[in-house]
Structure 1
């Protein structure tokens, strides 16, 4: 029985990755019911300046109902038809991560840099980087893209699959929705700091282990692609304690090793 369950989970994960690579992100009506989009709309509509208690309530209202709904729908379809259920389960799992989106966006930026269109590259980079990038030169633009992709690799790909392996689809959904809440309200300064404290804490805790796992994964990827994996690992060991953020300290620097 357990072997059959394991095969089911592995098949769903493989199919989810294939959907992401071949089809990519949903569009049109499907985008409107994407759990990340729905979570963002709920939290935006309910948000108001408040204390930490309200922040916890906002997180619960924005996350838990969606987690239950997007988990039960595939299982309901599974009870009707096994094949349809597996496809639905895999599709919802795919909605928790995005490899193709990250890859294609990075390629767009790097293509503009190659063509010498630094203004266009800065405009695209600014959409994924919080700090001001309009004064960055070519080398620092490339660095900003690499840093952003390294962070997105953790919270947009590795973490959802990590929690899928531990907890199944509910784990992947919990990670993705928690990360969405951090993106919506997890900022310092008024009016977000108190309200977003809980969302930021949950996101940090959930990404802590995957961020550290990303170091050997990025290092192995460097070795397999003929890059300087030794330099990558040395930079990770040397610089991981220099970054205040618990997540960034475990992931960004191995991707920057030379």
Structure 2
């Protein structure tokens, strides 16, 4: 059973994330996934197929390959010794979650703003957002950092943990391939509109439930650690579906309510202004102090997610 030793693997994986974050010196499976996509894209494009079919085949093949390889590694490790199997799953879980790395990156924006000014803040936030930053004022830089923390809570923590509960570390690894495919080929531009359509839709699908689970988790974390849990639920109910993404609006709206700030509005992407709806209309402006508050809320929600996941796994084991 995939649940054998999974709670220990989850605990070890979380501890590794909290201790190490995202060390650049360490080989990372997500980077290997990216290289696999880069290597295979021209080969699938060369097939005598429509771009949509070729892109779908590539995405499906890569996701299945990652799951099968990860499962085989876990099975072989467990056959050598159960403790080795646990440690292998822990290492996989560690590479799938990014709470520490997300908090570190966002806090770096706050430090840059406070220590070196707006230009440094723009450079720091450019490392974690896709929007153009050269015209952002301090509020814009801060809002970008807080929005990134909110949105990435789902694909950096809640979704991988959701799939750990369902299918252990191998399924979480397969999820990260879906996420990586979306980040690399899921764009609505001329190059990827058709080739990346399956990857984008698959990412929407696998994040559908975790994004909605994020709302009560964020509200619970807010109630325990000083945020406005009622407003988190209210803003999420009112504004989550206004976001262009079918999923990103849920954590973003819950964060907006919990922190008492509005988010969204127009931003520039690749030389074009994209009009995004305002989430949390009438709430206050975001300020530099909200970066730290957003990180605390994200980390609190992450630990609640880990705890609930461990309890669910234990319940599944007891029923087995």
Given the two structures, how large is their TM-score scaled by the length of structure 1? 0.91
1:45 paired with 2:42, answer no
CA RMSD of aligned residues (A): 1.8
Structure 1's consecutive aligned runs of 4 or more residues displaced over 4 angstroms after TM superposition are none
1:216 paired with 2:210, answer no
Describe the shift of the 1:59–1:202 C-alpha distance in structure 2 as closer, same or farther (beyond 3 A): same
CA drift of 1:58 comes to 1.5
| Aligned counterpart in structure 2 of residue 22 of structure 1, from 15, 19, 22 | 19
Aligned-partner Cα distance in 1 for 2:91–2:71: 11
Aligned-partner Cα distance in 1 for 2:239–2:24: 40
Describe the shift of the 1:200–1:240 C-alpha distance in structure 2 as closer, same or farther (beyond 3 A): same
Q: Equivalences for 1:55-94 in 2 at 5 Å?
A: 55-94=55-94
Query: Which residue of 1 is the match for residue 292 of structure 2?
Result: none
The answer to which of 49-58 and 189-198 deviates more is 49-58
Query: Which residue of 1 is the match for residue 266 of structure 2?
Result: none
| Aligned counterpart in structure 1 of residue 10 of structure 2, from 10, 13, 19 | 13
Q: Deviations over 1:113-143 (max 9, x none)?
A: 2235211111121222112122122222211
Richer in helix (by share)? 1
Aligned-partner Cα distance in 1 for 2:22–2:130: 23
Describe the shift of the 1:103–1:135 C-alpha distance in structure 2 as closer, same or farther (beyond 3 A): same
Query: Which residue of 2 is the match for residue 248 of structure 1?
Result: 248
1:143–1:256 Cα contact (<8 Å) kept: no
Query: Which residue of 1 is the match for residue 267 of structure 2?
Result: none
Query: Which residue of 1 is the match for residue 204 of structure 2?
Result: 204
Q: Deviations over 1:24-47 (max 9, x none)?
A: 33544x41xx32111111111222
1:97–1:176 Cα contact (<8 Å) kept: no
Aligned-partner Cα distance in 1 for 2:204–2:77: 34
Stretches of structure 2 that go unaligned for 5 or more consecutive residues are: 261-320
| Paired residue total | 252
Aligned-partner Cα distance in 2 for 1:80–1:46: 33
Q: Equivalences for 1:95-134 in 2 at 5 Å?
A: 95-115=95-115, 117-134=117-134
The answer to which of 240-249 and 148-157 deviates more is 240-249
1:146–1:256 Cα contact (<8 Å) kept: no
2:122–2:134 Cα contact (<8 Å) kept: yes
2:67–2:171 Cα contact (<8 Å) kept: no
Query: Which residue of 1 is the match for residue 315 of structure 2?
Result: none
Aligned-partner Cα distance in 1 for 2:77–2:24: 22
Q: Deviations over 1:61-107 (max 9, x none)?
A: 33322222222213212211222221112111211111111111111
Given the two structures, how large is their TM-score scaled by the length of structure 2? 0.74
1:16–1:91 Cα contact (<8 Å) kept: yes
CA drift of 1:250 comes to 1.9
The answer to which of 126-135 and 151-160 deviates more is 126-135
Describe the shift of the 1:27–1:125 C-alpha distance in structure 2 as closer, same or farther (beyond 3 A): closer
Query: Which residue of 1 is the match for residue 300 of structure 2?
Result: none
Aligned-partner Cα distance in 1 for 2:148–2:81: 41
CA drift of 1:162 comes to 0.5
The answer to which of 192-201 and 5-14 deviates more is 5-14
Stretches of structure 1 that go unaligned for 5 or more consecutive residues are: none
